Structure 1
Amino acid sequence: MPTLTELMEEELRGFGESSARYLIRLRSSSDCREIVRGLREPGGCPAHQVEALPFINAVFLQLQSPEAFLHHPEVEGVERDETLAVIQDKATRLSPGEIRRQASFARSKPFIPWGIRHIQAPLAWKAATGQEIRIGVIDTGVDFSHPDLRDSIAGGINLIHRHLPPLDDNGHGTHISGTIAAGAGQGMSGVAPHAKLYAVKAFDHNGTSFVTDIVKGIDWCVNHGIHIINMSFGMKSYSPSLETAVRNAAKEGVVIIASSGNEGKKGIIDYPARFPNTIAVGATGRNGKIAGFTNRSTQIDIYAPGERIVSTWLNGKYQELSGTSMATSHVSGVAALMMAIKPGISLSTLLSGLQRSAMPISSTARKAGFLGEINAIRAVRAVSRKKQRSSHVRARVQASAGPAARIPISSR
């Protein structure tokens, strides 16, 4: 039987238009970095055709014949590098003046969107504002120049174009970032206004990405001491590589919060929200009931406002969007408030606090097994009363967080 390197070299020699993106997951006895090093020796393949992903011990490769690798003794599995998409429904773009005119609380400063007020986040700010908590937003990037986000953004990386900063060319990432942690001031305020945001641009201007880019984004977050990862995107098919990345991040104490999807399906939700090591989020509407567009299932861990959510947008503007993406950003903000109160909190304790403090959606929903809607002040109080700590996570947070240091825009 040919060696794994020989098989890869043969595939790369036949690289052409018929090639497709694949991930080859290796058994623990093999080292993906060594294999890629050998392939890139003088006269070897170009870097864009093959890449090591040590976080999940896999090799990204352009293949024409994936079947040749399926039964190799060094290979754990082979999967196509599938696409993912951000989850959103666009509505009317709003100017700052229009926002204030439409809001019933127009005279309040800073501007607080209805969802943030509905979950009672302002009441929690006396106890915590997300200080010293780092949140990675794996999305389309962020508008660094937006006046409501300038003080909140502390770093990031562009995984699409490594030589460029993670600037948003779609709008979705900027909208998510605003709900999570827009800075308290004269503009909009997010759920955790003093948390620090890290823009991990893994999605292009169309809002699409590949599993490989998400894996690299999770890896970057783990390596840079991120405490919470917001994943407002989804895919329908199962990816072992993505689940491995999520599981490895959870082992390092990172809390991952993900959207359930917007198809209005019953009994099923999107990946990565379906993975057991994430907090899966569904959406509620302005009426406090489960939104018609949200996927719903007993696999959903918590619900949050996701209908007609106003948040920051490109070029210093604001936009109103609906979706489980918007609900997810509310939960990421509340998780930051809870972590600020209790830096050593584990995923299980945090999720328990969210669920125990949730507000009932309806008696019918409860009987069907659907949990409640997030409530910030109750969640903060719940975790304040919880004394038990996870020593593993506490040690990681104390070592990595410090006083919310800035991580420069990264190219690796």
Structure 2
Amino acid sequence: MAGKNKMGKALKEKLFTLKIGETVKVAVIFEQPFYRGLDREEVITTLEKHLEEKVKKLLGGRADNARSYWLLPGFIAELDADTIQRLLENPEVRSIDLAEQRVKIPVTRRKIYHPARAPFKESLWQYKPVNATALWDKGLFGEGIVVGHLDTGINPRHPNLLGKIVGWAKVEQDGKVTPGKPGEAFDDNGHGTFTGGLIVAGTKDNPLGIAPAAKLFSVKVLDRDGSGSLEQIIAGLQFIALQKNISIVNMSWGVEGFLSLLVQPMVNLLLLGILPVAAIGNDGPETSSSPGNIPGVLGVGALDFYPKTVNYKFLYPAPFSNTDFVTPQTATFRFPYYLKPDLLAPGVGVVSTWSKGYASQSGSSAAAPIISGMLAAILEKYKLDPDTLFSLLKISGSFADKPNFGYGWGIPDAGKLLKYLAEASYLKIISQNPQKKPFEGMISYNARGQDFIDVGYLHPVTGRLTLPVPANTAVKLTVTQPQGKVKTVELTTPASTTTKEVVI
């Protein structure tokens, strides 16, 4: 069968069951266009250009039944087996995947919580492992930062969320987006109000979320049961991507396993300067979910503690949210496998806002917004690119010198992170193969006798990374490519806050 390598495994299995004339919902993804630059508007314009014309050219009279999404880039439609086969033979089509899967929120358990009158920051354990008070002590609460929020919605009338919602939209099963006023937002499940609260709830004097001065742009893509279609997700992400002031998007949901359909949307979010933060899932050891397990996406696992006392002496990965060696089924990424999640954050007995009152909830969906809140607080002072933020969090992780199964790069420490940034310079690393094309690679480095293993990632699309490193310091960079080839560069870093270009 021509073009069979372009077809996802799930679609192959589905086509065997189709009868003549029956259709199946698929996503047809075009080859990623060439970018002359990485300016945000240029990326969007390039993705949008000729998309409608391509759809009409490929589908003819059936084009009216297709929904185009430049974030894919491509379209979603109900097609029969013959049409799918014809499209597979077209050189402009990169891949065709089944688009019938549904995403879900990875929740394990919940109970209604009635907080004591003591301030949140003094009574809740969730801030302590990540050292959130180090941000607050420096006056970093996320002022001026807007975080994208894709979930079951949000309750803007909750006392701890008043005035926090600056954007709102609802997405239907077929991808139709209905924007509305922030005051029209709602949450018929509670999960979205919970995750959103962990980012922005409370005040500077009494924070519940880690970035209480930040704002949310909330898009409802999941129903009252915490489930949504892939088309809802794609449409919601594209709507978020159109908002010019968003630099983080929190996604506390997923599809079990590696879903190649979500790869290009995540790549394009990164190109637009938006860091995707996602829950890794709650399906137990040696499992993970997309998009959290896609390279470039910050996948977050849940952290538990023992004994249940205020010292939190023993911290470990929650058994329902363990680490996975992911094997990506896609032509984009060449590493045969890699470690996920990237980081751990509190994910057991975490307290946040609920539809009414508060709730204590466990799951990686609680851990992800804690990291999103940290990022929002950091961005108030440091205007960093997504890949730089990603590396920075790994560098501050408790296992930055030796990422391992179960912990990934460990628990990020805000105090360590801020100290590191205060003394940092930056290396703008550019990868080029002999044909002057970017290549994929993992970057480790040694500085002042300390190793930082695989804390940088050269994406195969961009091939670039601005890496924060100690200033005025002898550094040894090691770049490992998927084929096992290793390149080493030794240099002295520039003065604090300045940038030095390094071509690998």
How far the C-alpha of 1:291 sits from its partner, in A, is: 1.0
Matches within 5 A, 1:202-281: 202-225=221-244, 226-266=246-286, 268-281=287-300
Report if the CA contact (8 A) 1:130-1:337 is conserved.
yes
Deviations 1:110-153 (A, max 9, x none): 77632024422133113211111111011111111111112221
Q: Which runs of 5 or more structure 1 residues have no equivalent in the other structure?
A: 1-15, 101-105, 395-412
Which residue, out of 116, 121, 134, partners 1:123?
134
Q: 1:163 to 1:56 in 2, by over 3 A?
A: closer
Return 329-338 or 346-355, whichever deviates more. 346-355
How far the C-alpha of 1:208 sits from its partner, in A, is: 1.4
Matches within 5 A, 1:61-80: 61-65=77-81, 66-80=84-98
Q: Does 1:184 align with 2:203?
A: yes
Give % identity: 25
- Rounded to whole Å, the distance in 2 between the matches of 1:347 and 1:376 is 17
Report if the CA contact (8 A) 1:148-1:182 is conserved.
yes
Q: 1:70 to 1:341 in 2, by over 3 A?
A: same
How far the C-alpha of 1:218 sits from its partner, in A, is: 2.1
Q: Which residue of 2 aligns with 1:50?
A: 66
- Rounded to whole Å, the distance in 2 between the matches of 1:168 and 1:221 is 18
Return 367-376 or 187-196, whichever deviates more. 367-376
How far the C-alpha of 1:338 sits from its partner, in A, is: 1.6
Q: Does 1:154 align with 2:166?
A: yes
Q: Which residue of 2 aligns with 1:26?
A: 30
- Rounded to whole Å, the distance in 1 between the matches of 2:189 and 2:90 is 41
SS of the residue corresponding to residue 326 of structure 1 reads helix
SS of the residue corresponding to residue 314 of structure 1 reads coil
Q: Which runs of 5 or more structure 2 residues have no equivalent in the other structure?
A: 1-19, 34-48, 307-314, 325-338, 430-463, 467-504
Q: Which letter maps to 2:317?
A: I
Number of residue equivalences: 364
Q: 1:185 to 1:254 in 2, by over 3 A?
A: closer
SS of the residue corresponding to residue 213 of structure 2 reads coil
- Rounded to whole Å, the distance in 1 between the matches of 2:350 and 2:364 is 11
- Rounded to whole Å, the distance in 2 between the matches of 1:58 and 1:259 is 26
How far the C-alpha of 1:270 sits from its partner, in A, is: 1.3
SS of the residue corresponding to residue 61 of structure 1 reads strand
Q: 1:213 to 1:386 in 2, by over 3 A?
A: farther
Q: 1:63 to 1:237 in 2, by over 3 A?
A: farther
Q: Which letter maps to 2:394?
A: Q
Deviations 1:222-249 (A, max 9, x none): 2102110111111124433311010011
- Rounded to whole Å, the distance in 1 between the matches of 2:120 and 2:285 is 39
Q: Does 1:307 align with 2:348?
A: yes
Matches within 5 A, 1:283-298: 283-287=302-306, 288-297=315-324, 298=339
- Rounded to whole Å, the distance in 2 between the matches of 1:148 and 1:275 is 33
How far the C-alpha of 1:55 sits from its partner, in A, is: 2.2
Which residue, out of 91, 96, 99, partners 2:110?
91
Q: Which residue of 2 aligns with 1:3?
A: none
SS of the residue corresponding to residue 285 of structure 1 reads strand
How far the C-alpha of 1:78 sits from its partner, in A, is: 1.3
Q: Which residue of 1 aligns with 2:421?
A: 383
SS of the residue corresponding to residue 299 of structure 2 reads strand
- Rounded to whole Å, the distance in 2 between the matches of 1:185 and 1:130 is 10
Q: Which letter maps to 1:250?
A: L
Report if the CA contact (8 A) 1:341-1:384 is conserved.
no
Q: Report 1 or 2 for greater relative contact order, CA contacts < 8 Å, sequence distance ≥ 6.
A: 1
- Rounded to whole Å, the distance in 2 between the matches of 1:389 and 1:19 is 51
SS of the residue corresponding to residue 351 of structure 2 reads strand
Report if the CA contact (8 A) 1:341-1:380 is conserved.
no
Q: 1:239 to 1:293 in 2, by over 3 A?
A: closer
SS of the residue corresponding to residue 335 of structure 1 reads helix
TM-score for both structures, normalised by structure 2:
0.65
SS of the residue corresponding to residue 342 of structure 1 reads coil
Q: 1:17 to 1:171 in 2, by over 3 A?
A: farther
Report if the CA contact (8 A) 1:179-1:330 is conserved.
yes
Q: 1:187 to 1:141 in 2, by over 3 A?
A: farther
Return 76-85 or 234-243, whichever deviates more. 234-243
How far the C-alpha of 1:279 sits from its partner, in A, is: 1.0
- Rounded to whole Å, the distance in 2 between the matches of 1:319 and 1:67 is 50
How far the C-alpha of 1:23 sits from its partner, in A, is: 1.0
SS of the residue corresponding to residue 289 of structure 2 reads coil
Per residue, is there more strand in 1 or in 2? 2
Report if the CA contact (8 A) 2:252-2:369 is conserved.
yes
Which residue, out of 178, 189, 194, partners 1:175?
194
- Rounded to whole Å, the distance in 2 between the matches of 1:220 and 1:307 is 32
Deviations 1:25-61 (A, max 9, x none): 23468933125568999xx7796x4211122231111
Report if the CA contact (8 A) 2:402-2:409 is conserved.
no
Q: 1:390 to 1:384 in 2, by over 3 A?
A: farther
Q: Does 1:346 align with 2:385?
A: yes
Q: 1:116 to 1:140 in 2, by over 3 A?
A: same
Per residue, is there more helix in 1 or in 2? 1
Report if the CA contact (8 A) 1:136-1:229 is conserved.
yes
- Rounded to whole Å, the distance in 2 between the matches of 1:132 and 1:393 is 25
- Rounded to whole Å, the distance in 1 between the matches of 2:68 and 2:240 is 17
Q: Which letter maps to 1:22?
A: V
RMSD: 3.3
Deviations 1:249-303 (A, max 9, x none): 111211111111111222x421111111111111111332111111213322111
Return 126-135 or 348-357, whichever deviates more. 348-357
Report if the CA contact (8 A) 2:111-2:360 is conserved.
yes
Q: Which letter maps to 1:236?
A: E
Q: 1:50 to 1:174 in 2, by over 3 A?
A: same
Q: Which residue of 1 aligns with 2:367?
A: 327
Q: Which residue of 1 aligns with 2:394?
A: 355
How far the C-alpha of 1:171 sits from its partner, in A, is: 1.1
Q: Which residue of 1 aligns with 2:412?
A: 374
How far the C-alpha of 1:72 sits from its partner, in A, is: 3.1
